[in-house]
Amino acid sequence: MRKKIVAGNWKMNKTHSESIALINELKDAISSDLSNTEVMVAPTSVNLFPSVSAADGTSIEVIAQNMHEADNGAFTGEISGSMLKSIGVNTVILGHSERRAIYGETDELLAQKVDAALNNHIRIIFCVGETLEVRKQDQHFIEVANQIRKSLFHLSAADWENIVIAYEPVWAIGTGETASPDQAQEMHDFIRKIINKKYTSEISDNLSILYGGSVKPNNAKEIFAKEDVDGGLIGGASLKAEDFLAIINSI
């Protein structure tokens, strides 16, 4: 059975003490009986190590927002998969639309990052999604299929055990506008089908596909209720314990 996941992407928010305070609030409130649901938070890189320590022994996994494609070398300011692994980080978000749009990360570069993460035994939450312009031109299925094909279709069947996909329509990120539950379901179903076609139904059935883009306590339940939506990647609403907990409890 595929895992349900609720992950908070904190982006460039929270100082050291704020990060620890939020983890402490969450861990006190999250019941240990989450059965098939994983809860993750992604602090900024400078706060990863103390966050891993703060979450130690709880059901919260601390994950990274990004990593470099090389293991080490002259890459000023960058962080590698082996470094993440060495501080107990076992999952990374790759391909977020902000990384693609603001930092020019291409599908080809992301394929290299995917390989580097897997080589370091790091699980990946791989983000895909179309801009509003692309959706208006009715090209969103083609766009998302291309993103997946170019960055993930070189992987072996076994690699897929360490892949989670997050569908994050760019027009819904931080805008307060969310995809309707039907729009999310339609894309998630499409993603599962193309993976089934390229690989096997076992792989596509076991793949967790998260929705991200203005998920809030008041809309999480109906989005998560859709058959092919296996949880969420939450931005703004993951910064407040009360809201994030409400979203976790909606699943």
- Considering the candidates 61, 98, 130, 168, report the single residue annotated as catalytic: 168
Nearer to ligand 13P (CB atom), residue 46 or residue 174? 174
Binding residue (CB under 6 A) for ligand 13P from 51, 80, 185, 214 = 214
Beta bridge partners of 92: 64, 124
231 binds ligand 13P (CB under 6 A): no
44 binds ligand 13P (CB under 6 A): no
Q: Tokens for 224, please give them.
A: 């998560």
Nearer to ligand 13P (CB atom), residue 81 or residue 236? 236
What span, in angstroms and rounded, lies between the C-alpha atoms of 38 and 35? 8
Terminal Cα distance for the chain, rounded: 15
Helices (H), the chain: 16-29, 48-55, 81-86, 97-103, 107-119, 132-136, 140-152, 181-198, 201-206, 220-224, 241-249
Question: 8, 103, 124: which is closest to 62 by C-alpha?
Answer: 8
Q: How many residues bind ligand 13P (CB under 6 A)?
A: 14
Place of tokens 């339609």: 186
- Considering the candidates 61, 68, 96, 188, report the single residue annotated as catalytic: 96
Catalytic residue list contains 121: no
Q: Draw the binding track, 103-142, toward ligand 13P (x: CB under 6 A; -: no contact).
A: ----------------------------------------
- The residue nearest ligand 13P at its CB is 235
Beta bridge partners of 61: 40
User: How far apart are CB 144 and ligand 13P at their closest, in Å?
Assistant: 15
Question: 189, 166, 42: which is closest to 97 by C-alpha?
Answer: 166
Catalytic residue list contains 68: no
User: How far apart are CB 11 and ligand 13P at their closest, in Å?
Assistant: 7
168 binds ligand 13P (CB under 6 A): yes
233 binds ligand 13P (CB under 6 A): yes
User: How far apart are CB 233 and ligand 13P at their closest, in Å?
Assistant: 4
Report in angstroms the alpha-carbon separations of 177 from 45, 86, 121, 136, 244.
Answer: 28, 38, 35, 15, 18
174 binds ligand 13P (CB under 6 A): yes
Residues in touch with ligand 13P (CB under 6 A): 9, 96, 168, 173-174, 212-215, 233-237
Residues carrying an active site annotation: 96, 168
